[in-house]
Amino acid sequence: MKLMKMTLPALCIAVAFSGLPAHASLNTASIMASSSSLSCIDYKIIGTCFWLYCTKFGCVIRTSMKVKHYIPETVISSYNHDGQNPWQEMNQFNQGAKGGEYRSPQKNYTQLTFKNTAAIGHPQGAITQILRGSYYCQSQTKPFVPYFLSSLDFLAWNHGIPEMFYPESLVPGMREIRENGDTWGNIFPRSGTVTQVHDYKAAAVTAHRVADFLTRSAQPHIYIPTARQEQGQNGYWYPEPVKEAVSNNHKWQQLHPKMSQSCSIFPDTPPNMVSEDGSYAWALWRPYKCCKRRGQRFLHSIDWSN
């Protein structure tokens, strides 16, 4: 699918975003508008880059600013059955995926909750309008590309194979999403089953599990990694892999069932209401650093701020 060019000014997009009702249907237009969140972008000038610029008359050293800002890379949805992906246009991808029946968090039938997930390239939109004409780092993900579909990752996502035998899965307290004694769930095995009765928390854990392997290469899952190993080449510094409780390498923006204008990391404060059908969606924002190219060869950079 081709990404349509945004022609509306950033201000109009931001106004449209702020006027979205809390329970509005999640579609491509609302997701594109959600990227106008200035608090999520967190734009900063952090340093100086040095470039070697050569002509037939000789070479000189040029400088450019080094900037850092967050970019919404993927939309990660967590839901129970096919047709329940809250991103309307993307429902076609996970046809045939079956999960557990939705249970109200007040009805403690079992501690196990199973969720299907999908990670789709964020369409962005408003963020490109806001930062257009300034220093802007390009995302390493492509809009609308399915980077992970749990229906294609049957053994790993449905049965936890082979990660159920990893030390992180067997040792209590290793790699968990928790804060102040409140444990939401373990990261490993990175499958769809979570020991959690609160539906929002279970969905958040499965979304974080996807982000964990999605931002790393050569993991035992069927997926397209969003990780890039090179750093500093051509004036670009890509984000580190997502890690729970680390706030400087990722942020989550809730898109459904309530559209949020701010970002946070898990565990955050769950909304008082939960999704009526057990479906949730978040935008995964990650920090990029880059410089405007001002020569044929990148030489060095100096940071004066984090």
pLDDT digit string, tens, across residues 279-297: 999 999 999 999 988 999 9
What's the pLDDT score for residue 121? 95
Give the model confidence (pLDDT) of 82-141 as tens digits.
778 999 888 766 554 454 444 444 444 568 899 999 999 999 877 877 776 668 898 889
Domain boundaries defined on the chain: 10-303
DSSP 15-49: HHHHT--TTPPB-HHHHHHHTT-HHHH--EEEEEE
What's the pLDDT score for residue 181? 80
Look up residue 233 and give its DSSP letter.
Answer: G
Give the model confidence (pLDDT) of 251-269 as tens digits.
999 999 989 999 999 998 7
* Residue 5 scores a pLDDT above 50: no
**3-state helix/strand/coil string of 240-282:** CCCCCCCCCCCEEEEEECCCCCCCECCCCCCCCCCCCCCCEEE
Give the model confidence (pLDDT) of 137-159 as tens digits.
988 899 999 999 999 999 999 99
Q: Per 3-state DSSP, what percentage of the chain is helix, strand, and coil (rounded to 5)?
A: 20, 30, 50
Distance of alpha carbon 181 from alpha carbon 201, whole angstroms:
14
As a whole-number percent, the residues of the chain with pLDDT over 90 amount to 59
Query: pTM of the entire structure?
Result: 0.85
Q: Dig out the tokens for 249 from the structure.
A: 């390498």
Other CB atoms within 10 Å distance of the CB of residue 194: 25
